[in-house]
Chain A
Amino acid sequence: MTGSRTLTYREAIREALREALQRDERVFLMGEDVGRYGGAYACSKGLLEEFGDERVRDTPLSESGFTGAGIGAALGGMRPIVEIMTVNFSLLALDQIVNTAATLRHMSGGQFSVPIVIRMATGAGRQLAAQHSHSLECWFAHVPGLRVVAPASVADARGMLWTALQDPDPVIMFEHATLYNEEGEVAAEGETSCDLDKAAIRRSGKDVSLITYSGSLGKTLDAAQRLAGDGIDCEVIDLRSLRPLDDATIMSSVTKTARAVIVDEGWRSGSLAGEISARIMEQAFYSLDAPVERVCSQEVPIPYPSHLEQAATPQVESIVAAVRKTLRT
Chain B
Amino acid sequence: MNELELTELVKRTLFDVAPDLEGEAIDPETPFRDQFEFDSMDFLNFIIGLHQATGEEIPEADYPQLASLKDCVSYLKAKNV
Contacts and interface: CB of A to CB of B under 8 A. Distances in A.
User: Could you say which of A1, A185, A193, A200 has the most chain B C-beta atoms within 10 Å of its C-beta?
Assistant: A1
A194 B80 CA distance: 9
Interface residues on A, range: 20 to 34
B78 interface: no
A194 B55 contact: no
Nearest to A201: B53
B21 to A, nearest CB: 14
Given A1-B7, A1-B28, A194 B12 contact: no
A159 B77 CA distance: 14
29 contacts: A1-B3, A1-B28, A1-B70, A2-B3, A155-B2, A155-B5, A159-B2, A185-B4, A186-B4, A190-B3, A191-B2, A193-B2, A194-B1, A194-B2, A194-B5, A195-B1, A195-B81, A198-B54, A200-B1, A200-B5, A200-B9, A201-B9, A204-B12, A248-B55, A249-B53, A249-B55, A252-B52, A252-B53, A252-B55
B1 A187 contact: no
A256 B52 CA distance: 10
A201 B7 contact: no
Which 6 interchain pairs have the tightest Cβ spacing? A248-B55, A204-B12, A194-B2, A1-B28, A252-B52, A155-B2
Interface of A: 1-2, 4, 155, 159, 185-187, 190-195, 198, 200-201, 204, 248-249, 252, 256
B73 interface: yes
Contact of A195 (B12, B52, B55, B80): B80
Contacts of B55: 198, 248-249, 252
Interface residues of B, number: 18
A325 to B, nearest CB: 26
A204 B16 contact: yes
A187 B2 contact: yes
Given A204-B12, A249-B55, A252-B52, A198 B4 contact: no
A1 B12 contact: no
Nearest to A252: B52
A198 B81 contact: yes
